[in-house]
C-alpha cells in the first residue's frame, strides 16, 4: 500500500482520507499516561535513564499504528 500520494499529501491507512501529515498513534493507553504513571510510581527517582528504562518496559506489547491526526484521537482510551 502506497500512502504518499504526492509531495505533502498522504493517504491515511486507517480512514483513507487524504491528509497533510501522518503520525504514530498508540492504541489504548496514550504514551503521556504511561509516563505520568511511571513518574507517579517513582516520585524519588531522579535518574532519567532509569525512568526511561521503566517507560520502555511499559511500552512492550504496545500497538502503534500510522494514521492521521483525526484517527489518532480515536485510538487512545483517554476519553
pLDDT tens readout for residues 50-75: 999 999 999 888 899 999 999 988 88
User: 38: helix, coil or strand?
Assistant: helix
70 closest CA partner among 14, 30, 10 = 14
Whole-angstrom distance, CA of residue 46 vs CA of residue 64 = 28
The model's confidence at residue 43, banded by pLDDT at 50, 70 and 90, is very high
User: Is 70 exceeded by the pLDDT of residue 1?
Assistant: no
Instruction: Write down the domain spans for the chain.
Output: 23-79
Query: pTM value?
Result: 0.68
Amino acid at each position: 500500500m502506497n500512502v504518499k500520494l504526492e509531495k505533502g499529501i498522504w493517504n491515511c491507512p486507517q480512514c483513507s482520507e487524504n491528509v497533510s501529515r501522518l503520525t504514530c498513534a498508540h492504541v489504548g493507553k496514550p504514551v503521556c499516561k504511561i509516563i505520568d504513571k511511571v513518574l507517579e510510581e517513582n516520585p524519588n527517582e531522579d535518574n532519567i535513564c532509569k525512568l526511561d528504562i521503566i517507560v520502555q518496559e511499559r511500552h512492550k506489547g504496545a500497538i502503534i499504528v500510522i494514521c492521521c491526526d483525526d484517527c489518532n484521537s480515536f485510538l487512545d482510551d483517554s476519553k
